[in-house]
């Protein structure tokens, strides 16, 4: 099994946040971040509003 890219965890305000390493979006939930990162092509902000 090929490991997915790992999200980056960051402590802030006493909470742990998880950042997509590709586009640096922050998520409060690690699974959400991993799901996002798995589908994040990092190919520009075209899906960001």
Backbone angles phi and psi of 11, in degrees to 5: -90, 130
DSSP string of 13-33? TTEEEEE-TTT--EESSHHHH
Does 20 participate in binding Zn ion (rule CB under 5 A)? yes
Does 19 participate in binding Zn ion (rule CB under 5 A)? no
Which one of the spans 2-10, 11-19, 27-35, 38-46 is the region binding Zn ion (CB under 5 A)? Answer: 38-46
**13 or 34, CB closer to Zn ion?**
34
Does 40 participate in binding Zn ion (rule CB under 5 A)? yes
């Amino acid at each position: 099994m090929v490991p997915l890219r790992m999200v980056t965890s960051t402590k802030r305000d006493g909470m742990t946040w998880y950042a997509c390493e590709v586009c640096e979006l922050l998520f409060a939930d690690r699974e959400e971040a991993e799901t996002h990162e798995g589908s994040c092509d990092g190919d520009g902000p075209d899906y960001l509003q």
